[in-house]
Amino acid sequence: MVSEEYCEVRLIRRPAGRVEVDDFVVVTNPLPVPAAGEVLVRNTWQSVDPALRMRLDERTPRGYLPPIPVGGVLGGLAIGEVVESRASGFVPGDIVQHVHGYREFAAVPADGETLGGAGALTKLDVSVAPIRHFLGPLGSAGLTAYAALVRIAELRNSDTVWVSAAAGAVGGLAVQIARLRGNRVIGTAGSPEKAAHVRDVLGAYAAFDYHDVDLVAVLDDLVPDGVDVYIDNVGGAHLEAALNVLRPHGRVALVGAVAAYDGIPPQGPANLFQAVARSLTLKGFRVGDHVDLVEQMRTEVAAHIANGGLHVDETIYRGINSAPQAIVAMLRGETLGKTLVEL
């Protein structure tokens, strides 16, 4: 029995600086009717991602996803159950992922939009792992961490790896995937407690709170020979420090720039000449360009989850009314691992 109404999260004003809960409103709508080629999905899990922040501004970077209009419903990866299908290949009961998140029900076209190549309407194999993991370690967070290490940074056995935001959804997986491949990993995180978690639970060789320290001095002390690979989830001062501690031919995977997401003006590294002096490579990427790696990633990561080698951190909020709070907490660094809303 499907109810006649559902709730969705809309943007009601553009954040002036940091995002506030009151920038959003939860609105009740009549249930959508799927058109031909669409399925009606009852969403059960919502992925809460830092990248959403940029789409709340009036302009997004060129070539990036467009801004969410004021008054418009938010979007993002979600998982749900097909309750009605007018698209071939899908039947009621199918568990699917798609990009029409932040709403309890969605009419999803079978061949519709994606988020830069990721999140096409896809059936998920519920036997592999808890289904929410397809939004985390077996989904875009896992693929981002995996592609950053394996393809973008071309990780080698002997590499020393530094991961920033190492207690975050992508960072925590990058730490563990690299560690499980035998690499020495340094993690930085936003509190002493998170740093301890990265070291003691996620298995980093060392981890520390980046606040009030000289990043270069601490890294020099921990790994005097320098760093080969830096997985940059942060930008700003972290990237500047990385340019100083990277060894010749070091590689940076530019995953995100969380420091700049929440209304803080981004700061560029003033020492980019280091990249010339030591033949460094900085490579930005969008996970949607690397969906060809998803099966390989899932095989490797699912095996580690199954044998207990990989720890899955999650911060789960309950109910669509908690989604604004989940977004705010995630952007302020108050969540651990993958931030999810169970709808």
| Per rule CB under 8 A, count of chain residues that contact a copy of itself | 40
DSSP letter for 72, please. Answer: P
How many whole angstroms separate alpha carbon 180 and alpha carbon 277? 32
Q: Does 114 bind a copy of itself (CB under 8 A)?
A: no
Q: How, if at all, do strands 78-85 and 95-98 pair?
A: antiparallel
Which of 6-14, 174-182, 205-213, 274-282 is the region at the interface with a copy of itself (rule: CB under 8 A)?
A: 274-282
Q: Does 266 bind a copy of itself (CB under 8 A)?
A: yes
Q: In this complex, which beta carbon is closest to a copy of itself, that of residue 130 or of residue 248?
A: 248
Q: Does 218 bind a copy of itself (CB under 8 A)?
A: no
Q: Of 221, 9, 205, which is closest to residue 105 (Cα–Cα)? A: 9
Do 135 and 79 form a contact (C-beta atoms < 8 A)?
yes
Q: In this complex, which beta carbon is closest to a copy of itself, that of residue 44 or of residue 274?
A: 274
Q: In this complex, which beta carbon is closest to a copy of itself, that of residue 204 or of residue 239?
A: 239
Positions 36 through 55 that interact with a copy of itself (CB under 8 A) = 54
Q: Is the dihedral of CA 114, 115, 116, 119 positive or negative?
A: negative
Q: In this complex, which beta carbon is closest to a copy of itself, that of residue 43 or of residue 233?
A: 233
Q: Which residue in 150, 161, 255, 341 binds a copy of itself (CB under 8 A)? A: 255
CB of 60 to a copy of itself, least distance (A): 8
Q: Does 62 bind a copy of itself (CB under 8 A)?
A: yes
Distances, alpha carbon 8 to alpha carbons 33, 172, 276, 343, in Å: 15, 30, 49, 11
CB of 201 to a copy of itself, least distance (A): 28
Do 38 and 108 form a contact (C-beta atoms < 8 A)?
yes
CB of 245 to a copy of itself, least distance (A): 8
**In degrees rounded to 5, what are phi and psi of residue 276?**
-75, -45
Do 222 and 187 form a contact (C-beta atoms < 8 A)?
no
Q: Which residue in 108, 124, 239, 297 binds a copy of itself (CB under 8 A)? A: 239
Q: Does 269 bind a copy of itself (CB under 8 A)?
A: yes
∠ CA 295-258-134, nearest 5°, is: 25
How many whole angstroms separate alpha carbon 82 and alpha carbon 91? 7
Residues in contact with a copy of itself by CB under 8 A are: 54, 60-64, 235, 239-240, 244, 247-248, 254-257, 260, 265-286, 289
